[in-house]
Chain A
Amino acid sequence: MEIVELILKSLAAGTAAIGFGILFNVPQRTLFPIGLLGAIGGLIKFGTMYFDGGIVFASFLSAIIIGLVSIRMAYSKDSPPLVFYIPSVIPLIPGFFIYKMMLGIIALTSVSNTDVYLQNLISTVNNGSKAIFILISLGIGVAVPMLITRRETIKKK
């Protein structure tokens, strides 16, 4: 049953990637590859989390794979890699943690009870550090393939 849920979530990530592709006005020929890439990214992220990989590592891994595949897609669809990786990475952005962190910070502005305050502080710092590390790992993850291949451009000269 969990496999079905995993696949459904990955498909949802792919759908979201297509939505953002249309928002960013990508060329029509790249829409399907973007959806596929978003779904692959989702599958790797949720799959890694299913095997207790931790959400930060899972996001980093799937960002690296998205970066790698986007280079291949850039060859075949004749568009720069960023057209593929930016819409596909956006579904991985930890909106829920950012939201929780924001609520926590707002709650921290009013002190009522030391115990409640401490509880709140712990969960806020936890959510916030997760959110920040996931964001950084997404940004660096998509850049890793280009850094490793040390290529200035995806075309051969």
Chain B
Amino acid sequence: MKMNEETNKTSEVGSILLDVGAALMSSGASTHRTRLTLERLASGLGFRIELLITQRALMVTVIDSDQEHFFSSLKRTSPHKINFKMVSGISRMSWHVFDGEWTQEQIAAELRRLKKLPHYPQWLVLTTVGVAGAAFCHIFGGGLIDIAVAFTATFAGLFVRHWSTLKKFNPYVCVFFAALTASLIAGFAEFFNLGNHPDAAFSTSVLFLVPGVPLINSVTDMMDGNIQNGIVRMVNGLIIAFAIAMGVFTVRILFSF
């Protein structure tokens, strides 16, 4: 009877750890951070773990302290959607667990709470990212009209990206649509000779799509020795950059006639 309970506990810990790890990976944490956090959680609960972390799947083996019970399992992580509230919340939680204050039920409850936490409202995201696009345009030397164009283009582009993601298009196709929309608006401004530096508006209107998180995480992963994950992230970032280029390229062809 006792044997069964212990086995159950080991497998429960295993599946909670997989949930936490999958949430971290899809929220944009680096491989090293995911590994560190899971090891911290496991040692707080009194278990030892072995991990295999890839971009889209996690594998964990949980070994309990008297080396009698094992649990191995594999979990596919959900598609990547950056959410730093999740990364920050899990990191805070892991310290409570490490200090031995929390049980596994509390971890599961906290994870459910973090998953339910609201995102910023869409109008706020669209507006602030639009302002960010306008700020980029100012940095690259655009005038007032160019800044307004960059704001509009970024706003519309991000809206299209959200919309096409909801319609479940392929993620790279979503980026292509967004780049197409943004550069189409900036291209119209250039076509009608609005603003004194239309070049700046055109090139900054697609900057909000730049795959910053995949590229930076890729370098971080490679420096930590997780070369495989680093290469996967790099290729992912390059495909996104290529999708942006295709969007811009299409608009350039349209306006060259």
Contacts and interface: CB of A to CB of B under 8 A. Distances in A.
A19 B128 contact: yes
A24 B245 contact: no
Given A9-B138, A79-B91, A153-B36, A90 B85 contact: no
Contacts of A22: 120, 124-125, 128-129
A98 B212 CA distance: 13
B218 interface: yes
Nearest to A85: B216
Given A80-B88, A96-B140, A12 B135 contact: yes
Interface string B239-250: 001000100110
Contacts of B133: 16, 19
Contacts of B128: 18-19, 22-23
Interface stretch (B6-14, B26-34, B54-62, B105-113): B26-34
Contacts of B28: 24, 82, 86
Interface residues of A, number: 48
Contacts, number: 146
Contact of A95 (B138, B210, B215): B210
Interface string B32-65: 0100100000000000000000000000000000
B180 to A, nearest CB: 15
A100 B87 CA distance: 35
B136 A91 contact: yes
Given A83-B87, A89-B212, A139 B135 contact: no
A61 to B, nearest CB: 17
A152 B91 CA distance: 13
Interface in A1-53: 8-9, 12-13, 15-27, 30, 42
Which of B83, B87, B204 has most A Cβ within 10 Å? Answer: B87
B164 interface: no
Contacts of B115: none
Contacts of A26: 84-85, 88
Interface string B187-230: 00000000000001011101110101101101110010000000
B139 A13 contact: yes
Given A16-B132, A18-B128, A91-B139, 11 more contacts: A13-B135, A15-B132, A16-B135, A25-B84, A25-B85, A83-B84, A95-B136, A95-B204, A102-B248, A143-B219, A155-B95
In the A-B complex, the 7 residue pairs with the smallest Cβ-Cβ separation, listed nearest first, are A139-B219, A19-B132, A12-B135, A99-B203, A16-B132, A79-B88, A16-B135
Interface of B: 28-30, 33, 36, 82-85, 87-89, 91-92, 95, 119-120, 124-125, 128-133, 135-136, 138-140, 158, 200, 202-204, 206-208, 210, 212-213, 215-216, 218-220, 223, 241, 245, 248-249, 252
13 contacts: A9-B138, A16-B132, A18-B132, A23-B128, A23-B129, A27-B89, A80-B88, A83-B84, A83-B88, A95-B136, A102-B248, A138-B216, A155-B95
